[in-house]
């Protein structure tokens, strides 16, 4: 794991300095509920390694990001999303200022549950 950014809230969550409601954790990633959910199901998937955004992703991150994307549907169902095609979920990755990224640590939002949602 790279050196954590001491100013990054998600690095502090990974280190256990800030509590979170964990959904899943392994050696490379942490998944936790969003503190201000936009939908009945809303969790974040983050690499434990500090990667500022999708703009900094390179070939060395391919396996990790692939695992995160294949884990997302399983966790969405576990957390209460209805099965496809009647149900489903949404995945969003905000990147940079124009992409409305607020926390500069790569994170994948997974949203789901009955509509209408408050946002999105």
- Residues with a catalytic annotation lie at 107
For residues 93 and 95, what is the distance between their CA atoms, to the nearest angstrom?
Answer: 6
Other C-beta atoms closer than 10 Å to the C-beta of 40 total 15
Beta bridge partners of 91: 110
Determine the 3-state secondary structure of 75 from DSSP. helix
For residues 2 and 6, what is the distance between their CA atoms, to the nearest angstrom?
Answer: 12
């Amino acid at each position: 794991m790279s050196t954590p950014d001491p100013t990054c809230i998600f690095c502090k969550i990974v280190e256990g300095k800030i509590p979170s409601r964990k959904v899943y954790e392994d050696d490379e990633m942490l998944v936790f509920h969003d503190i201000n959910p936009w939908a009945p199901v809303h969790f974040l998937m983050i690499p434990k390694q500090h990667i500022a955004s999708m703009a900094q992703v390179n070939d060395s991150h391919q396996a990790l990001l692939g695992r995160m994307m294949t884990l997302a549907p399983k966790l969405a169902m576990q957390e209460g999303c209805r099965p496809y095609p009647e149900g489903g979920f949404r995945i969003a990755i905000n990147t940079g200022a124009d992409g409305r990224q607020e926390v500069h640590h790569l994170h994948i939002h997974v949203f789901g549950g009955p509509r209408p949602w408050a946002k999105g």
